[in-house]
Structure 1
Amino acid sequence: MDKQVTMKPLAMLVSLALPLLAQAQSGAEQALPTVQVTSQKMSDTTEGTGSYTTGKARSATPLDMSLRDTPQSITVVTQQRIEDQGMVTVTDVVNNTTGVSVNQYETHRAGFTARGFDIDNLQIDGVPTTWEQPWSSGEVLSTLAIYDRVEIVRGATGLMTGAGNPSASINLVHKRATSKELSGTAELEIGSWKQRRGLVDVSTALNQEGTVRGRVVGEYQQGDSWAALQKNKSKTFYATVEADLTPKTLLVAGFSRQETEPKGPMWGGLPVWYSNGQEANWDVSKTTSASWTDWQTAYNNTFARLEHTFDNGWKVTATAAHGDRKADSHLLYLSGVPVKGADGGMSLFAGSYLTHTKQDNFGLMASGPFELLGRKHEAAFGYTYANQKFNADSRTANFGATYPAVGNFDQWNGAAFPAPSWSAPGFYESTTTKQDAAYGVTRFSLADPLKLIVGARVSNYDSIDTQAGAKAPSRIKNDNELTPYAGIVYDINDTYSAYASYTSIFKPQSYKDKAGNVLDPVRGKAAETGIKGEFLDGRLNASFALFHIKQDNLAQEVDKITRPGSDLPEAYYVGVDGATSRGYEFDVNGELARGWNASVGLSQFRARQANGTDFNSIYPRKLFRVFTTYDLGGQLKGLTVGGGVNWESRTYTRDPGAPAGTPTNGNIVQDGFALVNLMARYDISKNLSAQLNVNNVTDKKHFGMFAAYGAITYAAPRSTSLNLKYRF
């Protein structure tokens, strides 16, 4: 067919249509107002967004970068996820987040882990806070009621946190007072084991202009437990104020107090075996506690932040925080290997401890853009100081002339076990730890799609520990510890980025060499590479990462030596290299489609010592976490349903006190297990909603292991909760 013939009718159609389109456009301009369509990027605050992801996070570097632009693995647990999954404590978050897990020692003590290592970096608004895992001052039970989100950065985080393991950091970010109108929520919740919870959260302007704003949160919880004799009660109060001192100067200040009052907590866990080698397989309600035991904690946190933005885009931020943690416990520890159906095999010890930790933090940072060689770059540099003082006193238990016996542990009844009298508190241990550091980091724009991030931190660490009965305090002092940071990000297109990073961290250690000198710190080095994707204007974030971590200079015992002035031999050590962890992580969070939120995480690692043997086998090597919700809409408008699965692979630890003849050769083994969780929420009205959560739907029996004691603690069986929320 002739092209000229074909084009003539098309040309005639266009020539006739153009005037008509012009007339229609002119009429539309007169009849309709102009509508401007904009694409709004996600901010860092997650409250009110209904999203499972966020736009920015500063937990990996002090630079203001999106998740896609950050060359490390980050998961942000948003306010919407916290509400949908009915999360109440920071432990709930760790149990539901990609690549991290909870090592539950007992009912009220636990450790957090990632990539084969302990997590020892807990932060509030980016400020490292008190974290005394062996003593439990309530950290793992910290309420989420006062926080907007939880940011978890996996890998070495020495640039932002200082000393620690190359595992991860957990950053709790406070709710802010941003509302200029009276608004808030009120919640009532009931659940299994007589659980009761109430929460009030109110925000408002404090002056007519709205330049001063306030927010108050109060929470109360009370209930029993699946474990016999155990009762829990907690109270939380939080108040914060934000003031626009000038259009470019913001002052933020706040105070929080959290109290926990558990009764009947376990200490040490349950024995795994009978003396004949048979596995005991207790009921989940079994306890080693007594009715008179308790473990009260109180945590006060005061914080302030002053920030000013200059006309050139640079911002200066000063922060200060004071934390005060107290704990008072009266505990009972049962240990041994019981005789099945008879007396014997078990011993007991009662202990009481008063602990008090004070921590002061100060920080000063400047950040902003600059131009070099015709391109725009970013930089941040600052100084941090932290001073922590910890003290523990102990009381001695007195049961009278006859120390009571455990008897037949199958029939143990802690409700009838007599309470001792206690001595006055006496000194047990104290530690003073100071850290200060200067840091700097720059994000160079090498080309439009290519960014290079380089930085470093220089830290000083000084810790003095004094123990009752010791001849002299012990001291660990590490000066001018250099922590480098390097990352590169390449934008493949508008959606995908490829990245690679190298980070490090150091962990002081108290072991001594043959000459009596304290060993240099353990060095943790983490390399990571991967791909990140940002979809739907940032409402969906995905990442895939490969990582390799190595710890060097780990203390290894060589022999024993009797030092001058001492009558007893003590071990001496050398530093050895070679503890490695390598693996991968896949993480997706956000909106898959309108009304469909999801969080999906898959992770796996291998952690081995230089000799090829596994270390920390008590931590699961494989994790799969998935949770999703869908707003049904249409005829079922207002109804949201959801559910998910948390799967963990097999874990084990060697029990040195296991009797002969155990089926696992003395290993405590938790086979892989999956927990199924479901939820449904119905919006009764614009302001009122009801939500039902059912956790561990299949009632899967599983436990946490305490390797130090060779004991276990059963986790929660199936539970339900019903929440009624009113928004105003």
Structure 2
Amino acid sequence: MSLSSLRRQDAAVVRSSLALRPLALAVHMLAVGAAVTALPVYAAEPTEEAVTLDAVSITGEAEGGLSDVTEGTQSYTTRAAKTATPLKMSLRETPQSVTVVTQQRIQDQDLQTIADVVNNTVGVSLNRYETSRGQINARGFELNSLMIDGVPTIYEQPWSSGEIFGSLAMYDRVEVVRGANGLMTGAGDPSASLNMVRKRANSKELTGSVEVSAGTWDTYGTLGDLSMALNEEGTIRARLVGEYNDGDSWIDHHTNKRETFYGTMDIDLSEDTTLWFGASRQENNSDSPAWGGLPVWYSDGSETNWSRSTSMSTDWSKWDTTYESYFVNLEHTFANDWHAKLGYTRGERDGDSYLIYPFGSPDPVTGLMGGYGAGSYKTNTTQDDYYLQVDGPVELFGRSHDVAFGYTHSDQDFDADTRGYIPTANYDFNDFYDMPEPDWQPLTDSDASETTQKALYAATRINLADDLKVILGVRSTDYEKEQGNSKIKEDDEITPYAGIVYDLTENLSAYASYTDIFLPQSQHDINDNQLNPIVGESYETGLKAEFFDGRLNASAAVFRIKQDNLAESTGLFIPGKTPPTFAYEEGDGATSDGFELEINGELAPGWNLMAGYTQFDVEDADGEDVNTQYPTKMIRTFTTYRVPGFLGDKLTIGGGVNWQDSIYVYAANPSGVAEKVEQDAYALVNLMARYEITENLSAQLNANNVTDEKYMDFFEAYGAFTYGAPRSLTASAKYSF
């Protein structure tokens, strides 16, 4: 059977089980709302709540009357997020799927890296194909950009150096918007946006915490977070965050050391003007990392069955990275409740690696393989981001409406040098760790690029009636990238945004939205004209519910994402082009159809819940499944409960399950025949318990993958795979003051 036939057969099976029923979803959502309202009612006493923590606001002041329940409380949701649009809107008012991973959930689940957030968020998944790298996917499409404080600070990161394994220590929360988000990000894929929101110096009192931890594989860590006022009036505030984490891995010889430092200050220049600035440094030193995955087959065609501890590295391999960031923001509120925000961020990312990639299939007896590819790279990425935004209310036709407009400018310079080496013909895979280090040659130029994005955007929320809102937005982007002899240039690329929200009841809203995003491409057609950018379009409709004064949010969504203009080879050469260059044409891309259900927040006092289900089907223009190394059905759940009356109301217990359906790839076996490699559906069970020893001191225990499930991710291009983490325990103690 051909590779194409195999894929079509699998696609038919998936399609037969993926029938979308929007009406059924709506009925289910209404049932969820009815069940929620039947839960125990909150006590009438007031609760301490922090205020809006959007990407560029003052933590100590509310914007637009919205209060956030993230920092300083025990919540699994927020009332506001600004990653989807620049407007001040609650989650219920946003006509797009939004998940906020709050500080409380970060602490409860002991989430330490961006990858941890991805693995525990509805609608997104991570394919970890090496120890130090991986690829995020959402709704069937890759995610290749990250945002910090609402600005796409890391976009098109070349030569990935483990950005997704960066520490969360300096961030208060992570906002995830699924679907195309071109209004806020510019160029990218129609998948999702991850926005990391920095911690703010919002306390006028001396507050903070110190945490120490120890866990499986001799992993030890400490985290300190200190906030204070530097003057008696509290108008000058500072915050310092420091983290150190060092430990081994479930993979033999592999160790990782992570250090993070973050400092920030808020200075109230007046009652209406605040200057916010800071700096951070994250350093990650990885010894004996894998470059590539474990072989699927032995040379005789039999399947391997490696231990999860099997190493793919040597004692001299390493991959060290640093990321330094400097930022300054000025914010002002005018007398008419308009706001102006001006900001600049500079990021500098450096990487230095000495790596080795074994290829071929080992002999089952001798362990000999075909060879290896060594690589040593020194990389540097510098990015400067500027932004200006003005937003506020407008009175028109007897109603108040919201308007926002702004300008962004990003410059990214990337440079990579490489060290040559003298290769070795063969080696023994069984003794790979002791392989001598190659004779590295001096650094030479390898790759370089310069990318610039400039954009003007505007958005408005029109209040047509008390229960009907329309959100409209548009972005005009100039994009230019130079890499070697290649140049991509797109001027005035228009990105629209449209949404409508209708309040069905006091707690329930229906919505629909259209968003898109573009991605420039360098290929040329038969007339030597550059192809138009790839365009990703997202259509979404659903229901959103909000209960208990915003402490609980629920949603149901049906979506379709389509990617068009993808370059396809014509098999012909461009006439007169030297050297000979293939011509391409704009073809159809891929389409993803699916739905999601999600609920986040407090079901009752002391009972937090995050739960969601995602299901979709993604196919190319020929009806074949694409990106099959990512799951198309996922369950994400986690809940905590403060046990009343037991041990003096000081015990909190929790747990959750992350489930996904089967994934697969086709790879060439030792005979050169395409063979299906599959990971069956699996579930990971995670548990936690926390006990408050005193008012200031608490102890916590987290257990991940309690059932010790053995599972793997794929490196599709080379018929290789990487095992996920086995069972692990982490014990921590935290002192807060």
The residue type paired with residue 607 of structure 2 is W
Report the alpha carbon displacement of residue 42 of structure 1 after superposing the two structures with TM.
7.1
Q: Tell me which of 405, 408, 412 is aligned to 2:426.
A: 405
Distance 1:67 1:222 in 2: 37
Corresponding position: 1:580 with 2:580: no
Q: Is the 8 A contact 1:130 1:357 kept in 2?
A: no
Q: Tell me which of 263, 268, 272 is aligned to 1:248.
A: 272
In the other structure, the counterpart of 1:163 is 187
Distance 2:717 2:574 in 1: 27
Q: Tell me which of 521, 527, 531 is aligned to 1:519.
A: 531
In the other structure, the counterpart of 2:445 is 427
Distance 2:367 2:177 in 1: 50
Distance 2:432 2:299 in 1: 20
Q: Is the 8 A contact 1:583 1:605 kept in 2?
A: yes
Distance 1:535 1:282 in 2: 49
- Distance change >3 Å, CA 562–CA 492, structure 1 → 2: closer
The residue type paired with residue 317 of structure 1 is K
Corresponding position: 1:44 with 2:56: no
Corresponding position: 1:372 with 2:407: no
Corresponding position: 1:616 with 2:635: no
Report the alpha carbon displacement of residue 577 of structure 1 after superposing the two structures with TM.
2.0
- Distance change >3 Å, CA 503–CA 41, structure 1 → 2: farther
Q: Tell me which of 455, 467, 470 is aligned to 1:452.
A: 470
In the other structure, the counterpart of 2:519 is 507
Q: Is the 8 A contact 1:53 1:78 kept in 2?
A: yes
Q: What is the correspondence of 1:631-650 to structure 2 with a 5 Å cutoff?
A: 631-636=642-647, 637-650=649-662
Corresponding position: 1:695 with 2:704: yes
Distance 2:578 2:114 in 1: 45
In the other structure, the counterpart of 2:28 is none
Corresponding position: 1:534 with 2:542: no
Corresponding position: 1:268 with 2:279: no
TM-score (ref. length: structure 2): 0.90
Report the alpha carbon displacement of residue 404 of structure 1 after superposing the two structures with TM.
5.7
Distance 2:393 2:376 in 1: 55
Corresponding position: 1:302 with 2:326: yes
Report the alpha carbon displacement of residue 615 of structure 1 after superposing the two structures with TM.
1.1
Report the alpha carbon displacement of residue 279 of structure 1 after superposing the two structures with TM.
1.4
TM-score (ref. length: structure 1): 0.91
In the other structure, the counterpart of 2:121 is 97
Report the alpha carbon displacement of residue 570 of structure 1 after superposing the two structures with TM.
3.4
Distance 2:425 2:310 in 1: 20
Q: Is the 8 A contact 1:108 1:136 kept in 2?
A: no
Distance 1:447 1:577 in 2: 40
CA deviations 1:633-654 (Å, max 9, x no partner) are: 2033211010000001111111
The residue type paired with residue 614 of structure 1 is D
Q: Is the 8 A contact 1:641 1:680 kept in 2?
A: yes
Report the alpha carbon displacement of residue 566 of structure 1 after superposing the two structures with TM.
3.1
Describe the SS at the equivalent of 2:115: helix
Corresponding position: 1:683 with 2:692: yes
CA deviations 1:220-254 (Å, max 9, x no partner) are: 01011111110110111000000111001111101
Q: Is the 8 A contact 1:365 1:380 kept in 2?
A: yes
Report the alpha carbon displacement of residue 462 of structure 1 after superposing the two structures with TM.
0.2
In the other structure, the counterpart of 1:590 is 601
Distance 2:502 2:329 in 1: 34
Q: What is the correspondence of 1:55-66 to structure 2 with a 5 Å cutoff?
A: 55-66=79-90
Report the alpha carbon displacement of residue 39 of structure 1 after superposing the two structures with TM.
8.4
The residue type paired with residue 572 of structure 1 is A
In the other structure, the counterpart of 2:26 is none
Greater shift in the superposed pair: 708-717 or 531-540: 708-717
**Any gaps of 5 or more consecutive residues in structure 2?**
1-43, 54-69
Report the alpha carbon displacement of residue 661 of structure 1 after superposing the two structures with TM.
9.7
Distance 1:39 1:66 in 2: 19
Distance 2:264 2:410 in 1: 23
CA deviations 1:500-549 (Å, max 9, x no partner) are: 00001001111221222221100111110000000111000000000011
The residue type paired with residue 682 of structure 2 is F
In the other structure, the counterpart of 2:252 is 228
Q: Is the 8 A contact 2:528 2:574 kept in 1?
A: no
Distance 2:73 2:373 in 1: 51
Q: Tell me which of 210, 233, 247 is aligned to 2:234.
A: 210
The residue type paired with residue 694 of structure 1 is A
The residue type paired with residue 406 of structure 1 is Y
Distance 2:202 2:99 in 1: 24
Report the alpha carbon displacement of residue 560 of structure 1 after superposing the two structures with TM.
3.5
Report the alpha carbon displacement of residue 583 of structure 1 after superposing the two structures with TM.
0.2
In the other structure, the counterpart of 1:26 is none
The residue type paired with residue 668 of structure 1 is V
Distance 1:434 1:134 in 2: 14
Q: Is the 8 A contact 2:145 2:157 kept in 1?
A: no
The residue type paired with residue 517 of structure 1 is N
Greater shift in the superposed pair: 553-562 or 231-240: 553-562
Report the alpha carbon displacement of residue 494 of structure 1 after superposing the two structures with TM.
1.2
Q: Tell me which of 652, 672, 682 is aligned to 2:681.
A: 672
Q: What is the correspondence of 1:174-573 to structure 2 with a 5 Å cutoff?
A: 174-398=198-422, 403=424, 405-407=426-428, 409=429, 411-414=430-433, 416-466=434-484, 473-561=485-573, 564=576, 566=578, 569-573=580-584
Distance 1:506 1:449 in 2: 33
Distance 2:203 2:681 in 1: 46
Distance 2:337 2:311 in 1: 59
- Distance change >3 Å, CA 626–CA 37, structure 1 → 2: closer
Report the alpha carbon displacement of residue 578 of structure 1 after superposing the two structures with TM.
4.8
Describe the SS at the equivalent of 1:57: coil
Greater shift in the superposed pair: 38-47 or 102-111: 38-47
Q: CA RMSD in A?
A: 1.6
Distance 1:42 1:299 in 2: 30
Q: Is the 8 A contact 1:41 1:55 kept in 2?
A: no
Higher-Rg member (1/2): 1
The residue type paired with residue 685 of structure 1 is T
The count of residues paired between Structure 1 and Structure 2 equals 677
CA deviations 1:343-372 (Å, max 9, x no partner) are: 443311111001100000101111000111
Describe the SS at the equivalent of 2:269: strand
| Aligned residues with identical type, % of pairs | 52
Distance 2:514 2:297 in 1: 45
Report the alpha carbon displacement of residue 203 of structure 1 after superposing the two structures with TM.
0.4
Q: Is the 8 A contact 1:705 1:712 kept in 2?
A: yes
Distance 2:50 2:324 in 1: 32
Describe the SS at the equivalent of 1:163: coil
